[in-house]
Chain A
Amino acid sequence: MSDIKEVKEPSIYDFRDEERDEDFYKVDAGLTEDIIREISKEKHDPEWMLEFRLNALKVYKEMEIPDWGPPIDGLDLNNIVTYVKPKTKMVGSWDEVPADIKNAFEKLGIPQAEREALAGVGAQYDSEIVYHNVKKEVEDQGVVYTDMESAITGKYEQMVKDHFMKLVPVNDHKFAALHGAVWSGGSFVYAPPGAKVEIPLQSYFRLNAPGAGQFEHTLIIVDEGADVHFIEGCSAPKYNIANLHAGCVELFVGKNAHLRYSTIENWSKNMYNLNTKRAICEEGGTIEWISGSFGSHVSYLYPTSILKGDHSHSEFTGVTFAGATQNLDTGAKVIHIGKHTSSFIDTKSITKGGGINTYRSSVEIRPTALYSKASVNCGSLMIDSESRSDTVPAMDIRTDTADVGHEAKIGRISDDAVFYMMSRGMSEAAAKAMIVSGFASPVSKELPLEYAAEMNNLIKLEMETG
């Protein structure tokens, strides 16, 4: 299932702008072998994982910082060690948590105990029982659902080894390499052939494992004919004094298997979110991405689907919200390799208060992908005239049997619609929030009810602030 060599080059993450190559700069990241060994030891890595990390470190040091997206010079890469040192305490006390985060907890109605855990200052939210109940139900199906640390030291070690960073190789980009060297936390799922998991697997309850929410690794393997829904995230802003998030998600969808991967992310507004998510589908396999991206100072996020097998299919439905001080560069990528493959991208971006949203997508239909179909649909809604919204869709079609469609719409919130809604008794803020929630509804409609409600609360909150 991990035979993906043919798709590795050219790099499928990089949107690098060839003309600006001379602008690359290098940093001497003070990350040493000793630090990596220390991390590895604390995590009780098997020997091969230590080797893996050390190799990733080498690659990290050799690679350049991507220069084609929003600036990330606010990251102190000369001092990268402060982001990854295992003993760096995340936040000292509740008092040090910024006011806007506390405020958001308040408005979203998160219980105090949970608030402290989410801010990384309290004892871990006691949710083991809930977690174990879920675990029991899926175990009856033979499904493995555990944290990465347990997976790698337990009986699935070989399976992890066969898949870990095979889809996102460490030399994919500099932050993938960094991830490979210092990753910590995350989830592992294996669904055996034919397993059908009715309930969504939720990783909400493990967000606060040490290092999670920063360099976590998610590895999901759905074997032939199996069906899984994995859902990750919560509306509470994840605060971390170390403001770099370089997670990695690798999804392996087997023959005729189906995986739905849903995420609602809300990063604190100081966060650099440089995340890599990728899926590969075998023959007849389907990957569905549902994605709501909120918060962060800068985001680079382009979940990628590799449609390797014939008749494989991908759907991406996403919404991004950029407010004041935010520069979000998000989108989706699809690589069609197999025959009769099909992909569908539907994204919505909302921009407000001088925020910047760039929708970036790429659809590649390789010569082998005969009779494939791709459809890209992106819409932007601007709340005010200070905000900026750009669309950078790319299509690279190498066969004349392909059927591709593309539609982009940029619009402003309609004053007439706001007046109409206010004439029924809604405040201006409520009317605007409802228009925006409606605009984002392709995503909320696909989420379980409680997540959809959370997302709408989050939109309301974002509309009220700044």
Chain B
Amino acid sequence: MSEYILDIKDLHAGIEGEEILKGVDLRIAAGETHVLMGPNGAGKSTLGNVIMGNPVYKVNSGSMIFDGKDLTEMSVDERAKAGLFMSFQNPLEVPGLTMDNFIRSALRERTGKAIKIFQFKKKLEETCSLLDMDEAYVQRDLNVGFSGGEKKKAEIFQLLMLEPKFAILDETDSGLDVDAVRIVSKGVDIFRKNGGTLLIITHSTRILEGLNVDATHVIVDGKVVKEGGAELVETINAGGFEGLKNE
């Protein structure tokens, strides 16, 4: 088995008639925290979606191995059950389905076991207080009428409730005020300390404060053009993506 929990090689993928990812290589070892940066439209969200298995995108060639399993052969829910998670850039609304009901059903499907109500409730409460969320929140319909920030917090809430092995955070910090970013970072840190592996898509350093970044990848026009350590985040924040394209 590979030393990497996620091992992507020469991945070409896109939509009907248009290639968006043009040969992506990405390797992440278990327990590490990686950052994915790149200009708007570079293909960051597409990469997240392709890893998660969004049927909108087609994989043309290349390989994706997660925890020893070939992702290209797996349905979305199988990937989730294998331990993958993505915090969506734009979480979807499901009217009439309460968040706690949704999470409980997801847990039931993931474990194949009935959920013990008492333990579940306790964990809901703990997670709420951790993320400074009102408990009434989880009784609301999933993402319906949530503000942008509330939606992102709800994604981290799900992350902590579902306890996957690997989480892709797609601009979870975008559009959040300072306090909300701090809370999200706190949630992410807990996930990481419990052994979770992270791929954080972000434009800013705020969410990374206090996190130990192991590697940074820069994607431009569907290809990883530069890789480095935590310091690369600073470099890009100072100088932007210009100049990286031609390296």
Where the two chains meet, the residues of A that have a C-beta atom closer than 8 Å to any C-beta of B are: 414-417, 419-428, 430, 434-435, 437-442
Contact = CB atoms under 8 A, between A and B. Distances in A.
B92 A417 contact: yes
Closest A-B pairs by Cβ, 8 of them: A438-B96, A441-B96, A438-B97, A422-B76, A425-B80, A425-B110, A424-B106, A420-B92
Q: Size range of the interface on B? A: 20 to 34
Interface stretch (B52-60, B116-124, B174-182): B52-60
Q: Count chain A CB atoms within 10 A of each CB in B85, B88, B95, B141 and give the residue with the most.
A: B95
Nearest to A427: B77
Contacts of B85: 423-424
A415 B55 CA distance: 9
Contacts of B94: 417, 421, 434-435, 438
Nearest to A444: B96
A427 B112 CA distance: 12
Contacts of A427: 77, 109
B54 A442 contact: no
Nearest to A416: B92
A317 to B, nearest CB: 13
B105 interface: yes
B91 interface: yes
B204 to A, nearest CB: 24
Nearest to B142: A438
A423 B102 contact: no
Q: Count chain A CB atoms within 10 A of each CB in B55, B76, B92, B97 and give the residue with the most.
A: B76
Interface in B86-115: 86, 88, 91-97, 102-103, 105-107, 109-110
Contacts of B79: 423
A131 B103 CA distance: 38
Contact of B96 (A421, A422, A426, A439): A439
A441 B140 CA distance: 13
A425 B162 contact: yes
Contact of A425 (B92, B93, B109, B141): B109
B77 A422 contact: yes
B162 A421 contact: no
A425 B81 contact: yes
20 contacts: A414-B92, A416-B92, A419-B54, A421-B94, A421-B102, A421-B106, A422-B75, A422-B80, A423-B80, A423-B84, A424-B80, A424-B85, A424-B106, A426-B109, A427-B77, A427-B109, A434-B94, A438-B141, A439-B96, A441-B97
B158 interface: yes
Contacts of A440: 96
A428 B88 CA distance: 18
A430 B105 contact: yes
Contacts of A420: 88, 91-92
A438 to B, nearest CB: 3
A109 B85 CA distance: 34
Contacts of A425: 77, 80-81, 106-107, 109-110, 162
Contacts of A434: 94, 97, 102, 105
A435 B101 CA distance: 12
Given A422-B80, A425-B109, A434-B102, A439 B158 contact: no
A444 to B, nearest CB: 8
Nearest to A419: B54
A423 B109 contact: no
A430 B103 CA distance: 13
Given A434-B97, A438-B97, A424 B92 contact: no
B109 A419 contact: no
A395 to B, nearest CB: 26
Contacts of A419: 52, 54-56, 76
A439 B93 CA distance: 12
Contacts of B96: 437-442
A428 B92 contact: no
Given A420-B88, A423-B80, A435 B97 contact: yes
Given A423-B85, A426-B77, A427-B109, A441 B95 contact: yes
Nearest to B144: A438
Contacts of A422: 53, 75-77, 80
B157 to A, nearest CB: 12
B92 to A, nearest CB: 4
A424 B162 contact: yes
Nearest to B111: A425
Interface string B147-170: 000000000001000100000000
Given A420-B88, A434-B105, A438-B141, A428 B77 contact: yes
A417 B143 CA distance: 11
A144 B120 CA distance: 44
B138 to A, nearest CB: 15
A434 B54 CA distance: 19
A425 B103 CA distance: 10
A48 B20 CA distance: 80
Interface in B127-153: 141
